[in-house]
Amino acid sequence: MMYTSRRNLLRLAGAVGVASVLAACGGGDDSGTGGETVSADDVTKALEEGGELLVWSWDTTIAPTAQAFMTKYPKVKINVVNAGTNQDQYVALQNALSAGKGVPDLAHIEYYALSQFSLAKNVADLSGFGASAYKDKFAPGPWNAVSANGGVFGLPLDSGPMVLYYNKEVFDKHGVAVPTTWDEYYEAAKKLHAADPKVYIASDSGDAGTTTSMIWQAGGKPYTVNGTDITINFADAGAQKYTALWQKMIDEKLLSSISGWTDEWFQALGNGTLATLVVGAWMPSNLVSGSPNASGKWRVAPMPQWEKGGTATAENGGSAMSVMEASTRKALAYGFLDYLTAGEGVKTRIDNGAFPATTADLNSPEFQAKEFEYFGGQKINEIFAQSSANVVPGWSYLPYQVYANSIFKDTAGQAYISSTKLADGLKAWQDASVKYGNEQGFTVK
Amino acid sequence: MGPFMAVFALVFLAPIAYSIYISLFKTRLIGGTSFVGLENYQQALTDPNFWDGLARVAIFLVVQVPIMLGIALLAALAIDSGRLHAAGFFRITIFLPYAVPAVVAAIMWGFMYGNQFGLVGNINEAFGISIPAPLGPDWILASIGNIVTWEFVGYNMLIFYSALRVIPSSLYEAAEIDGAGQFRIIRSIKLPAIRGALVIATIFSIIGSFQLFTEPSILQKLAPNAITTFFTPNYYAYSLSFNGQQYNYSATIAIIMGLVTMLVAYVIQLRGMRKES
């Protein structure tokens, strides 16, 4: 009853109302350190006994996998709910957590956002469930993203090793070679734009995820996180390599200002006005559905390098599935998680278009030999797998990266529309992130 | 009286009281919730982002509201003058945009403003010219002003028009006998008679300006850097709450904005009503 009346207030008072509900029901959760222990037998027993699980995910490959799982374990019932895509789901999740009601058993959380939930102990530490043994089962980038301080806070669902997607037709038409280094990329950008003023090598209006991934590849480590002690530095050698190149791209107007993920953007990717994309391996299904008219024109190449002959890559996006601490059926939830991310479910998900994080699948001949019609029959998984193996180690995100990314446009984004230099914009982003971190109780320098 | 007071307290007073209550606390990711008194208010008053947003809606108010009300008044006078053919048609057409939800209007105008594939882009291409980008940082506020004007001219026109309709026609006849022209009638009869409606429309528009949210939050996807997270105070409160989980601070911003809005509306009402009595 209490809850219902609060819900009504919430509607009336909008954001302020949400705040009141959260403040009313919230409260520190600092009970217990280290995870509980659940043995394989416990999990098997839970699966046999059955029960219901609530899973939050926007990934379309989860539902068919859950279906297959339920066929195998008829007593288990899994409800897969789409509670919004990334940021929207995190807001819903935070609200449910604060209200202490409606929290799912399993939630889909992207790598960059995971530490925000693990820090607050909202997600269960799975090291006591036997998840630590999976270290070598997953590619190093994703594994590093789910494990921290001896804990395992989810299992990798997919990964996003970066590659260069390019429109072969556009490159061929203007006689431009596909760039293998960032210097060549810059030269290609100039040549393409000079040959046809409508054509841009890429669009970028400032994206936090892309920027951090680019710095990652260049060897930069802007975030050092040690518990609640954090250092942020966007002036290291890696970041400087990136800003030097990207400043030239911005100054010489070699980047289109079309915002990513808009209709315009997909149209431009389809009609050849945007010649390349440097993003994660999860892109193909988006291209197929968003720019169907470009089928057969696009190809995949390794990510351009900072040094000729290099192989360094970075992760871009990718996500984990985590068992929520509030779940009352953790053993059962882990049973499904195991199936979904490390067991038979991986195959179902790959068949439905997912890009896995499991090394065995990444390296399997069957996976690598798959030819993609959209990419002119190219075996693109070979390049993705190669990229996955070459991710620069040692990267970490902030424990409050969700917020930091949301203010990227206020700071670094200004470099794209004003005379602010990108390096200064990143410094402003750093300062704002430091300020927020300290306000939130971290020690940030 | 009892039931009314209960509903009134629950629906109107409780959310406000609750917002004030939580604005006195601070919840941190590390360390939990603690009582901080007026610290959030102190922080807001020295927060450059808040002032930046407030200054922006102030400029918006000073420029957009007079233009919108001026157009609405002209339209109402023209339709009321009886000299317009198909006055009913104009009345409904001018009012029509108000029936379009603000979200849809913002999306629609957003497409027109696009200088890559939108209408502006097509015009640039067709004539080989380069119109300043409506979604660029220099023009974005004016572009939003244009959308808001388009949406609300009809609504205000209708308020003015209905006020004009209740003026007894005997006044006009008397004025004509005295030899007054149309402009004299407008100045000496019509405008004084609808003063109350003018004040009400002005107050509504001021509140609307301070609450500017929908248009920037929709256009934000198309103009990501030009529209910052603190573009307007309301949008700032929203960003703080939903991206940063700074609910306490968000409530503080909301309360300060409520006070500012009330104050400005009150001053306008005092000034507007003074001469009438």
- Quickly list DSSP for A392-429: PS-----TTHHHHHHTTTTTGGGGGTSS--HHHHHHHH
H or E element: which one contains A319?
A: strand A319-323
The distance of B185 to chain A (nearest Cα, Å) reads 45
Q: Is B15 in Cβ contact with A28 (below 8 Å)?
A: no
Residues of A in contact with B245 (CB under 8 A): 94, 403
Residues of B in contact with A30 (CB under 8 A): 32
Are residues B250 and B23 in contact, defined by beta-carbon separation less than 8 angstroms?
A: no
- Of B136, B238, B247, Cβ closest to residue A23: B247
DSSP B11: I
List chain A pLDDT tens, one digit each, 445 residues.
Answer: 333 333 333 333 333 333 333 333 333 333 334 567 888 888 888 888 889 999 999 888 899 999 999 999 999 999 999 988 777 888 889 889 888 889 999 999 999 999 888 888 899 999 999 899 999 999 888 998 898 878 999 999 998 999 999 999 999 999 999 999 999 999 999 999 999 999 999 999 899 999 999 999 999 999 998 888 999 999 999 999 999 999 999 999 999 988 888 888 999 999 999 999 999 998 988 898 889 999 999 999 999 999 999 999 999 989 999 999 999 999 999 999 999 999 999 999 988 878 899 999 999 999 999 999 999 999 999 999 999 989 998 898 998 998 999 899 999 999 999 899 999 999 999 999 999 999 999 999 9
pLDDT band at B94 (very low <50, low <70, confident <90, very high): very high
Residues of B in contact with A20 (CB under 8 A): 15, 18-19, 21-22, 251
Vertex A158: Cα angle to A153 and A161 (nearest 5): 110
Parallel/antiparallel/unpaired status of strands A51-56 and A76-81:
parallel
Q: Which residues pair with A25 in a beta bridge?
A: none
Q: Which residue has the tokens 């980008």?
A: B133
Q: Is A94 in Cβ contact with B247 (below 8 Å)?
A: no
Task: Count Cα neighbours of B67 within 13 Å in the Cβ-side half-sphere.
Answer: 14
Q: What is the pLDDT of residue B222?
A: 85
Percent of chain B scored above 70 by pLDDT? 98
Interchain CB contact of B124 with A (< 8 Å):
no
Residue B19 predicted with pLDDT over 80: yes
Quick check: helix, strand or coil at residue A167? strand
The residue of chain B nearest to residue A264, with distances taken between CA atoms, is: B117
ipTM for the predicted complex: 0.85
Q: Is B32 in Cβ contact with A16 (below 8 Å)?
A: no
SS3 for B32-69, per residue? EEEECCCHHHHHHHCCHHHHHHHHHHHHHHHHHHHHHH
- Of B28, B230, B238, Cβ closest to residue A441: B28
Residue A5 backbone dihedrals phi, psi, to 5 degrees:
-65, -35
> Poorest-confidence range of A160-174, A389-403, B107-121, B204-218?
B107-121
The distance of A363 to chain B (nearest Cα, Å) reads 38
The distance of A13 to chain B (nearest Cα, Å) reads 6
Q: How far apart are CA A180 and CA A304, in angstroms?
A: 5
Residues of A in contact with B22 (CB under 8 A): 19-20, 23
The distance of B261 to chain A (nearest Cα, Å) reads 16
Choose among A232, A259, A206: nearest CA to A407.
Answer: A206
Q: Is A406 in Cβ contact with B243 (below 8 Å)?
A: yes
Q: Is A403 in Cβ contact with B228 (below 8 Å)?
A: no
Q: Is A436 in Cβ contact with B28 (below 8 Å)?
A: no
How large is the average pLDDT for residues B157-182? Answer: 92
The distance of B141 to chain A (nearest Cα, Å) reads 15
Are residues A202 and A416 in contact, defined by beta-carbon separation less than 8 angstroms?
A: no
Helices within A102-139 (DSSP H only): 111-119
What contacts A183, CB < 8 A, 6 or more positions away? none
Beta strand extents in chain B (DSSP E only): 25-28, 32-35
Residue A355 backbone dihedrals phi, psi, to 5 degrees:
-105, 115
Choose among B46, B256, B242, B17: nearest CA to A87.
Answer: B242
Q: How far apart are CA A219 and CA A221, in angstroms?
A: 7
H or E element: which one contains B94?
A: helix B87-99
Residues of A in contact with B136 (CB under 8 A): 417
Residues of A in contact with B230 (CB under 8 A): 410
Quick check: helix, strand or coil at residue A299? strand
Q: What is the pLDDT of residue A269?
A: 95
Calculate the alpha carbon distances from A234 to A216, A249, A407, A433, B249 in Å: 11, 19, 15, 11, 28
Q: How far apart are CA B92 and CA B110, in angstroms?
A: 24
The residue of chain B nearest to residue A399, with distances taken between CA atoms, is: B29
Q: Is B248 in Cβ contact with A18 (below 8 Å)?
A: no
- Of B137, B225, B242, Cβ closest to residue A91: B242
Q: Which of B218, B219, B225, B235 to mutate to test the interface with A (most CBs of A within 10 A)?
A: B225
Token pair recorded at residue A130: 């036997």
Q: Find the Cα–Cα–Cα–Cα dihedral A302, A306, A309, A313, rounded to 10°.
A: -40
Q: What is the pLDDT of residue A29?
A: 37
Choose among A121, A134, A148, A161: nearest CA to A29.
Answer: A121
pTM for the whole thing?
0.84
Quick check: helix, strand or coil at residue A148? strand
Q: What is the pLDDT of residue A10?
A: 34
Quick check: helix, strand or coil at residue B244? coil
Vertex A286: Cα angle to A282 and A287 (nearest 5): 110
Q: Is A9 in Cβ contact with B19 (below 8 Å)?
A: no
- Quickly list DSSP for B143-199: HHHHHHHHHHHHHHHHHHHHHHHTS-HHHHHHHHHTT--HHHHIIIIIHHHTHHHHH
Q: What is the pLDDT of residue A18?
A: 35
Buried b (16+ CB within 10 A) or exposed e, B237-270: bbbbbbbbbbbbbbbbbbbbbbeebeebbeeeee
Q: Is A28 in Cβ contact with B31 (below 8 Å)?
A: yes
* A-to-B residue pairs, Cβ atoms closer than 8 angstroms: 124
Residues of B in contact with A25 (CB under 8 A): none
Token pair recorded at residue B68: 């919108």
Q: How far apart are CA A107 and CA A35, in angstroms?
A: 18
Token pair recorded at residue B238: 């929203």
Q: How far apart are CA B238 and CA A24, in angstroms?
A: 19
Q: Which of A11, A16, A426, A440 to mutate to test the interface with B (most CBs of B within 10 A)?
A: A16
Parallel/antiparallel/unpaired status of strands A319-323 and A155-156:
antiparallel
**Span B174-189, pLDDT tens digits:** 998 998 888 899 999 9
Query: How far is residue A233 CA from its own chain's centroid?
Result: 22
How many Å from the N-terminal Cα to the C-terminal Cα in chain A?
46
Interchain CB contact of B46 with A (< 8 Å):
no
Quick check: helix, strand or coil at residue A55? strand
Choose among B182, B199, B178, B203: nearest CA to B77.
Answer: B182
The distance of B165 to chain A (nearest Cα, Å) reads 35
Q: Is B224 in Cβ contact with A206 (below 8 Å)?
A: yes
